[in-house]
Structure 1
């Protein structure tokens, strides 16, 4: 393509991440979050108990709350700061606005909240990536986002 030439439909389509890449990145994120949540929720009180004999209730409760909030915080901060989770970094994709700009904190928070709250519906909505020219899932269309290759 020369300067000033419009990209072809195929080239525009290839700028966006497809279903397999998105699910692969999400799988990496899920494994990382499982490990981190278990380490925080159970590991911190267990470590305390190994030193002191037993973990206080406030520490157990606090660790459980942090472990429960961890997935939301992970996705929200990743998407609003860089657009990329660690899975996204590994697979070279980022959640952005359709124009290529950053998602922003409110939109990233809504995307993370509803994605975690309605995970089965969120995953089912990924089917639209094979139909949409920008490979957007149903939640991307609703949230005004796109997952682009970097």
Structure 2
């Protein structure tokens, strides 16, 4: 069942609103990472521990980053940053976000941007009619003003 009917009157969230919401989310994620990972880095063996090419603390930070966006978006359709700015992620058809929608949008989309250092592709939001980023297009989602 759709959460709300999608009409042509939806106000799509533009680049700058999404950018500032993302900055708030980064503050939250870095704070969580500091609270969770920092105590372990005081242990010498943990600080020096590596898994292939990555440090264990770096991997934990990445897990926290992706988990925050994944679970907040699936649970509420919005992260804390989006809540503050009155934004919400919805499916194009108005149905509730599924796990696959959320995984594609939040993990695959962000991984591609981060792995390939293609942060500039987030600017696509400014030039598409529905203000969609590539990760939104992959997942058939929209970010709207509530």
Alignment TM-score, normalising by the size of structure 2? 0.74
Pick from 128, 132, 143: which aligns with 1:132? Answer: 128
- The structural deviation recorded for 1:55 is 8.0
Q: Which runs of 5+ in 2 are unaligned?
A: 1-6, 51-55
Q: Supply the distance in 2 between the matched residues of 1:130 and 1:74 (Cα, whole angstroms).
A: 25
Alignment root-mean-square deviation, CA: 2.5
Residue in structure 1 matched with residue 26 of structure 2 by the alignment: 30
Structure with more of its chain in helix, by fraction: 1
Which of 1 and 2 has greater Rg? 1
Q: Supply the distance in 2 between the matched residues of 1:96 and 1:147 (Cα, whole angstroms).
A: 6
- SS of corresponding position for 2:13: coil
- SS of corresponding position for 2:143: strand
Task: Show the 5 A alignment for 1:9-24.
Answer: 11-12=9-10, 15-24=11-20
Q: Supply the distance in 1 between the matched residues of 2:18 and 2:39 (Cα, whole angstroms).
A: 30
Residue in structure 1 matched with residue 82 of structure 2 by the alignment: 88
Runs of 4+ in 1 over 6 A off after TM superposition: none
